[in-house]
């Protein structure tokens, strides 16, 4: 990665933290004054209402599930018994499972909890892409070579460095004073008081962002599997490309929302989106 780009990324991360810190100075926190609903009932309600509130995202994920089933059912027909094939199947299982796990958590109102599986899915999908470019490295990964003890270096080996996305996920994943309120309240960053809800909530902007992020990682994993061995026909590929276009459109719409309602986060989202698109080789 060039020095100019590295400086720009550092500047973006610093701007994000400074803006968040400035918001915190003038912000107060409190618990809701109204009685909280029973958590199990609220989880169920949020999950059931998701398709009504976010119909396009729910439809996108439903189509992803269909493509996943079709492709996974065809994979056993491959005669390829190489370690490389096994590695892709294992990583795809993890990337797809973690992505859907994050989506389920988002649907049920657990935004903070979704960051862990989102990051795990990103890492697995990145590793799939790395092995496609460097298949001779699979044996070292299988043998748990020391170089794979930490996977941060892999990001810099990919055609597009996803460091900004990791920074965003890690920033929210850890117990961070400046970020927790944004994922446990339905207030916007312009409010001067956050009502911290110790349970499932619906925060429209972050719900959209994390639900689309989970779909993005699932499509990346499916694309890597298809690129390895196109065991499904052109209709599957056509539908996959249509889903990618739908995702790109929804991300573009979210960018508008982010810039208007979440200006501080929007700057990161815009760069992260530009730096990462589903595989379409």
The shares of helix, strand and coil residues in the chain, as percent rounded to the nearest 5, are: 75, 0, 25
Please give the pLDDT value at position 41: 92
Please report, to the nearest 10 degrees, the dihedral formed by the alpha carbons of residues 17, 22, 26, 30 taken in order: 0
User: How many Å apart are CA 256 and CA 268, to the nearest integer?
Assistant: 13
Number of Cβ within 10 Å of residue 224's Cβ equals: 23
Does residue 97 sit within a domain? yes
Q: Is 262 exposed, middle or buried (0-12, 13-18, 19+ CB in 10 A)?
A: buried
Does residue 281 sit within a domain? no
Please give the pLDDT value at position 150: 83
Please give the pLDDT value at position 277: 47
Name residues of the chain where pLDDT drops below 50: 1, 14-25, 188-190, 261-281
Tally of domains within the chain: 1
User: How many Å apart are CA 208 and CA 106, to the nearest integer?
Assistant: 9
Structure tokens at 7: 């400086």
Please give the pLDDT value at position 10: 52
Does residue 254 sit within a domain? yes
Give the residue from 58, 33, 39 showing the smallest Cα distance to 48: 58
Please give the pLDDT value at position 204: 81
User: How many Å apart are CA 111 and CA 50, to the nearest integer?
Assistant: 14
Does residue 280 sit within a domain? no
Q: Report the residue count for the chain.
A: 281
Please give the pLDDT value at position 242: 95
Does residue 279 sit within a domain? no
Does residue 215 sit within a domain? yes
Domain of residue 192: give its range.
3-274
Number of Cβ within 10 Å of residue 204's Cβ equals: 13
Please give the pLDDT value at position 276: 44
Q: Which helix (H) or strand (E) holds 39?
A: helix 39-53
**How many C-alpha atoms does 245 have within 13 Å on its Cβ side?**
6
Number of Cβ within 10 Å of residue 253's Cβ equals: 13
Please give the pLDDT value at position 8: 52
């Amino acid at each position: 990665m060039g020095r100019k780009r590295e400086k720009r990324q550092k500047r973006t991360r610093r701007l994000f933290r400074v803006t968040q810190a400035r918001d915190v100075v003038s912000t107060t926190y409190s618990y809701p004054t109204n009685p909280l609903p029973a958590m199990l009932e609220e989880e169920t309600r949020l999950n059931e209402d998701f398709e009504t509130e976010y119909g396009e995202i729910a439809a996108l994920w439903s189509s992803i599930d269909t493509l996943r089933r079709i492709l996974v059912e065809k994979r056993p027909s491959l005669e390829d018994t190489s370690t490389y094939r096994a590695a892709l199947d294992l990583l795809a299982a993890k990337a797809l499972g973690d992505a859907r796990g994050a989506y389920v958590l988002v649907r049920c109102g657990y935004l903070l909890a979704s960051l862990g599986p989102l990051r795990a899915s990103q890492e697995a999908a990145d590793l799939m892409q790395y092995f496609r470019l460097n298949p001779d490295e699979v044996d070292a990964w299988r043998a748990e070579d020391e170089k794979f003890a930490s996977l941060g270096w892999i990001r810099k080996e990919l055609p597009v460095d996803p460091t900004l996305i990791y920074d965003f996920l890690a920033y929210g994943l850890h117990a961070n004073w400046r970020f927790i309120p944004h994922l446990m309240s339905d207030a916007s960053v312009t409010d001067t008081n956050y009502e911290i809800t110790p349970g499932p909530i619906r925060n429209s902007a972050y719900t959209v962002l994390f639900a689309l992020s989970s779909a993005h990682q699932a499509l990346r994993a499916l694309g890597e599997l298809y690129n390895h061995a196109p065991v499904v026909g052109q209709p599957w590929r056509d539908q996959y490309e249509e889903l990618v276009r739908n995702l790109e459109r929804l991300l573009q719409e979210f960018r508008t929302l982010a810039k208007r309602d979440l200006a501080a986060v929007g700057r990161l989202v815009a760069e992260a989106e530009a730096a990462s698109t589903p595989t379409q080789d």
